[in-house]
Structure 1
Amino acid sequence: MSSEASRRWRLMLGRYAQDKLGGLPGQDGARDEALDFLYRREYAARGIGGKEGSLDPTQLTALSWLNQSRALFPGDVFETLQGDALNRYGLTELLKDPDVLARIEPRQDLLPVLLGMHSRAPDQLKAQLRAVAQRVIDQIMERLRPKVTRAFSGQRNRFARSNVASAANFDWRATLRDNLSRYDPDRQRILAERLRFNARVKRRLPWTVVLCVDQSGSMSDSVIHAAVLAAILSGLPGITVKMVLFDTSVVDVTDRLTDPIDTLLSVQLGGGTDISRAMRYCETLIDNPTRTVLALVTDFFEGGSPAGVLASVARLAEAQVVQLGLPALDDTGRAWFDHDLAGKAADLGMQIGAMTPEHFAEWLAEAMA
């Protein structure tokens, strides 16, 4: 085995490989110590290590570990370590020091931890915790707002032309038709001289969007994106947004939509899932069924009554409410969900699709066209 391969294996396996692979000098030794401080918790959880003299824990504190790790590892590696410390191993003492909070990197995967700490933090730290959480929300908002606004900027009108040159309005059919005479056989391509763009028709009839969001622990990213999307949508003309969070209880947060942090502070991630109860509540919020979209964000693992869920879906379908079911609403668009219940809901008229927030905005805009 090469010396570099041996070094990498030693860092990966930690001090338990010291007898076979030896120690690590210099900065690698400090890296080994920093990794051991965090990941020995994995061994401890599996009953490995005990109180043997050679396996005594390091003398690092959470604060010194954070500072040391920031200097020892590249930025992306440090962010992974920081996320594991907070999310996986519960080193919430990292958030109890104002100096740590001032330097912490704002990342979306830390947001549930930051919000969960808020209610338990000393009063002097609550404002700082909220400020860090706000920086994360601002990043998500800055990324999503232009995409959502563009999706709702108007329905394309193929019978009217526009002087506004944008990719969203580009009419490739008309452009191809108008430039067929400019085909270059040598290059085997059309040299387009005139580009055509569609005009857009502004929506004037009002719509109501009811966001019914599962706040169980597996849905944390979806809850965050739903809160941001609700804030953006509520600022668009002609759209009324209502938002309900649920686990085994139901919380209506419609009055807090302009501030996603206020919405998210209403969330207590975890607990069971009673989709049926949430759907029945959402039915009471619908005044004009044919101008309403109900978006159910859940993994469809029902802890209550699956029959009750399907009964609500059937009633809403009969009333001509547009129903969208989202097993995931996050940056990956991948989901693990109950295909059986989701499939039965789809058979009754609910459209099902896990997707990213920007694709959901496009899907929602099409549903309201």
Structure 2
Amino acid sequence: MTGEAGGSAGASLERWRLVLGEPGQACLNGQSLGEIALGRDAALDWLYGRDGELARRGIRRGGTRDGGSGPSVLTTVEWLDQVVRLFPKETIERLERDAVERYQIDDLVTDPDVLARVEPNATLLKAVLRTKHLMNPEVLRLARRIVAAVVRQLTERLATEVRHAFSGTRARRPSRFRQARDFDVHRTIRANLSHYQPEHRRLLIETPYFRSRTRRHLDRWQVILLVDQSGSMVGSVIHAAVTAACLWGLPGVRTHLVAFDSDVVDLTADVDDPVELLLRVQLGGGTDIARALGYAAQLVEHPRRTIVALISDFYEGGDANQLVHTARQLVGQGSHVLGLAALDEEANPDFDRALAQRLADVGVHVGAMTPGELAGFVAERVGR
């Protein structure tokens, strides 16, 4: 085995050892972990050593190690510093996600020392929204940095998609004004084909055509986003807030944002400030989807120019029959009703399929969308 190949094989064995923990020690054939690998091992043990399922299966992570440290040795701040120093960005985000979501290590987003060090990402934003009720004003001020940074990233990305979706709303009328940028190539070629000279392979243009670039008149549409703020829908809550902010102020669109659990809260007044809006959201509580859809029905001004996007996992705690009845009425009046089990970048939801099917049976378009796909849906209808 050459030195290069041996080094590659050794690194691969070391990775397996880190993945398997102490039971994988045999992978190293009696060799010890290097200094960097020992640090990584300690960081992994600190997190995954608390996994009760591994203990029940007789798999040991943590405890006595070759220079390693058990879960109780490092503080959260020290662990985070070690993780940032020793792992690539993708791995850091995965470890932070497991710490927050799998092991409920809340001080990752409630400890000021940790918040001062942490790099904002979507996982930590979700954690902030879940735990902000535990934060004192000083900690909440630090947490706001995470909210603002991630919202800014999401807004910049989605705003580009929204602009692209709405760029197709320009008229295609012929124009009397002859400008090179408005030259209608396809119509000109079709109209002048009779002047084609095959011997010279040349098309003579007798009559050029141009098109207007003025925007067509857009009838005013309402877009009503109804978002379930139960804990499982936090990702959709974030993206609904950002989507509403990006749609806000677009020509021909009037946007509403309504959050609900067992109560209904109209957040439309804060749509232009998604950071403040998200900090107002209260996750958890019951779920009364029928009540929320009933509120949306009261907002509708022109049914045939209204899109109602109900974003929920459809686990109804209210009156399911009333929900279906209201949905049937909205569809019957000509409104476009979407039932989105997720509005996020993954669009891979867990939802009550039986109730979703009942809604689909009365004409609701049920599925899941990314924010960009929703913007495209809105643009297509508004631009008709």
Give TM-score scaled by structure 1 length: 0.83
1:120, distance to aligned residue in structure 2 (A): 1.9
**Residues 245, 314 of structure 1: CA spacing in aligned structure 2 closer, same or farther, 3 A cutoff?**
same
Q: Which runs of 5+ in 2 are unaligned?
A: 1-8, 197-207
**Residues 65, 339 of structure 1: CA spacing in aligned structure 2 closer, same or farther, 3 A cutoff?**
same
Structure 2 partner of 1:93 = 107
Contact 2:124 2:146 in 1 (8 A): no
Contact 2:121 2:146 in 1 (8 A): no
Partner AA of 1:327 in structure 2: A
- Residue 106 of structure 1 pairs with residue 120 of structure 2: yes
Match of 2:87 among 65, 68, 73: 73
Give the RMSD, CA atoms, in angstroms.
3.5
1:262, distance to aligned residue in structure 2 (A): 2.2
Partner Cα separation in structure 1 for residue 242 and residue 108 of structure 2 = 26
Structure 2 partner of 1:61 = 75
1:123, distance to aligned residue in structure 2 (A): 1.9
1:325, distance to aligned residue in structure 2 (A): 1.9
Partner AA of 2:287 in structure 1: T
Structure 2 partner of 1:322 = 336
Q: Which structure has the larger Rg over C-alpha atoms?
A: 2
Partner AA of 2:90 in structure 1: D
Structure 2 partner of 1:217 = 231
Structure 1 partner of 2:21 = 14
Partner Cα separation in structure 2 for residue 143 and residue 170 of structure 1 = 32
**Residues 43, 25 of structure 1: CA spacing in aligned structure 2 closer, same or farther, 3 A cutoff?**
farther
SS at match of 2:225: strand
Structure 1 partner of 2:51 = 42
Contact 2:96 2:123 in 1 (8 A): no
Partner Cα separation in structure 2 for residue 25 and residue 249 of structure 1 = 56
Matched residue pairs, number? 358
**Which digits, 9 at most, give the CA deviation of each residue in 1:167-220, with x for residues without a partner?**
xx9999659858989x9xxxxxxxxxx999884634432222111111223322
Contact 1:153 1:200 in 2 (8 A): no
Partner AA of 2:43 in structure 1: A
Structure 1 partner of 2:253 = 239
Structure 2 partner of 1:275 = 289
Partner Cα separation in structure 2 for residue 288 and residue 271 of structure 1 = 32
Structure 1 partner of 2:147 = 133
Contact 1:87 1:110 in 2 (8 A): no
Match of 2:34 among 25, 42, 47: 25
**Residues 179, 132 of structure 1: CA spacing in aligned structure 2 closer, same or farther, 3 A cutoff?**
farther
Structure 1 partner of 2:165 = 151
Give TM-score scaled by structure 2 length: 0.80
Partner AA of 1:259 in structure 2: D
Contact 1:154 1:203 in 2 (8 A): no
Partner AA of 1:267 in structure 2: V
SS at match of 2:161: helix
Contact 1:154 1:201 in 2 (8 A): no
Q: Which runs of 5+ in 1 are unaligned?
A: 184-193
Contact 1:326 1:354 in 2 (8 A): yes
